[in-house]
């Protein structure tokens, strides 16, 4: 692996927790270090939309108690925060100051985390490009829509960040930025106080340097036993024979083959799986459901402030206005039938293993990339983990995606940790998270 420019410096949350456990007074220092890192590099990376004041962050750190006591966290600017401006990535809400925190922010604070800033999001968490640069290669996009959250973790601005996923907005940026991303089973983490785009799909996403860290954060926020425990027996991964949406690039295929070799060398097993025609049907179903719901969720913005929408989102909503109830109902029925057949995909396997994205991050900032490898799993509500550690031919990260059964998040995270450790064992020079 070759990606290690000056901006790429993810932090190990577990190492920081050990540091504060030994010396509780280090909590304040961690927050000051995070703010200093933001001040040092964010003019280049452009991951943040608002940053906490030194005084507020330090006071919150010194008063923090709980399993995340004093750890800095960055929150996507799609979630309401009472202490920081929340604009949802849109000029319509410039300067907007909510009176309350989103539920996920409240959970973070109750656990002792310190919100050091808000991160850049695509407009209303859709697909419009953002200004955020990829810490692994500033000439490329960090992805979207959670571009700022992935970049903030990759650049070491915070050990944890919160994002969201409606199509591929957590897994894809994590892949592009070389960090772990976790999209839990839909509904596991609360979306109250998150600007809605599609209520059937909107899911809170989490970012950290590695799988062990992101699993710990998920456990703290969900109250479920999700921390990585290690597999009682080597997992069995299903690898699709083909993909109904788009084929991965040669880069992504090579990365997946490398991960497969690593898994087998570590004692895991791999078997081919075939996607039946109903998986193809889900591509259109996702678009129909998302369109119908976004047309309603963003109705006020379209009706009253459409001139302030980006051309991309305006065009999407204009098309979405043509989706009628009958089409929506039919798509929802397709989704329900697919969820009823989902067990077929996991028969005899622990988890699925696929590329996280079709390729490395695109050059430039004109596109946030293609979410093709993520949309169906979002529709199905499956837990998904981006496993970092591999790179493409041009040296930028490409992750592999571990996909589990809904509500089998612990098993999915354990399987992802197995893959991550297997990759680390065969890839020379893999960068370790800084402490």
pLDDT at position 429 is: 56
Report, as residue numbers or ranges, the catalytic residues: 76, 145, 169
Q: What is the pLDDT of residue 433?
A: 54
Task: For residue range 207-225, list pLDDT tens digits in order.
Answer: 999 999 999 999 999 999 9
Cα gap 421→318, rounded to integer Å:
46
Query: Backbone phi, then psi, for 302, in 5-degree steps?
Result: -70, -45
pLDDT value at position 5? Answer: 61
∠ Cα 200 355 403 (to 5°): 50
Q: Domain 13-274+345-426: give its CATH code.
A: 3.90.1300.10
Would you kindly state where each structural domain of the chain is located, as residue ranges? 13-274+345-426
- The enclosing H or E element of 317 equals helix 311-320
Stretches where the chain sits below pLDDT 50 are 1-2, 4, 431-432, 435
Residue with tokens 């930025």: 177
Q: What is the dihedral of CA 188, 236, 168, 283, to 10 degrees?
A: -100
Chain center to CA of 293: 22
The model's pTM: 0.97
Find, among 390, 389, 382, the residue nearest to 352 by Cα.
Answer: 382
Asked whether the beta carbons of 145 and 115 are under 8 A apart, the reply is: no
């Amino acid at each position: 692996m070759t990606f290690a420019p000056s901006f790429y410096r993810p932090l190990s949350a577990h190492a920081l927790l050990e540091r504060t456990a030994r010396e509780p007074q280090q909590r304040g220092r961690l927050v000051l270090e995070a703010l200093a890192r933001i001040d040092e590099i964010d003019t280049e990376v452009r991951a943040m939309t608002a940053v906490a004041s030194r005084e507020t962050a330090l006071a919150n750190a010194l008063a923090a108690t709980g399993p995340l006591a004093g750890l800095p966290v960055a929150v996507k600017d799609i979630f309401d925060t009472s202490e920081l401006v929340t604009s949802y990535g849109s000029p319509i809400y410039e300067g907007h100051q909510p009176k309350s925190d989103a539920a996920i922010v409240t959970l973070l604070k109750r656990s002792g985390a310190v919100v050091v800033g808000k991160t850049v999001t695509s407009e209303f968490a859709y697909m419009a490009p953002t200004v955020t640069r990829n810490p692994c290669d500033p000439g490329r996009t960090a992805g979207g829509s959670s571009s700022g959250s992935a970049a903030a973790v990759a650049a070491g601005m915070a050990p944890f960040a919160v994002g969201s996923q409606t199509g591929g907005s957590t897994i894809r940026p994590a892949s592009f930025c070389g960090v772990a991303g976790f999209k839990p089973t839909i509904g596991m983490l609360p979306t109250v106080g998150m600007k809605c785009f599609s209520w059937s799909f909107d899911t809170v996403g989490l970012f950290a340097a590695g799988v062990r860290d992101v699993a710990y954060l998920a456990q703290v926020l969900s109250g479920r036993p999700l921390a990585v425990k290690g597999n009682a027996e080597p997992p069995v991964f299903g690898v699709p024979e083909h993909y109904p949406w788009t084929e991965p690039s040669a880069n992504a295929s090579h990365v997946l083959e490398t991960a497969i070799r690593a898994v087998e060398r570590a004692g895991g097993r791999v078997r081919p799986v075939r996607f039946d025609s109903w998986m193809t049907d889900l591509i259109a179903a996702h678009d129909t459901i998302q369109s119908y719901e976004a047309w309603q969720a963003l109705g006020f913005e379209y009706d009253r402030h459409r001139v302030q929408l980006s051309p991309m989102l305006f065009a999407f909503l204009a098309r979405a206005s043509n989706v009628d109830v009958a089409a929506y109902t039919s798509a929802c029925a397709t989704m329900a039938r697919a969820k009823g057949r989902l067990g077929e995909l996991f028969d005899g396997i622990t988890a699925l293993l696929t590329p996280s994205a079709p390729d490395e991050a695109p050059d430039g900032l004109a596109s946030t990339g293609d979410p093709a490898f993520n949309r169906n799993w979002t529709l199905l509500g499956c837990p998904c983990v981006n496993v970092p550690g591999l790179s493409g031919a041009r040296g930028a990260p490409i992750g592999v995606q571990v996909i589990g059964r809904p509500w089998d998040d612990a098993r999915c995270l354990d399987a992802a940790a197995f893959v991550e450790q297997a990759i680390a064992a065969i890839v020379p020079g893999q960068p370790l998270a800084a402490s």
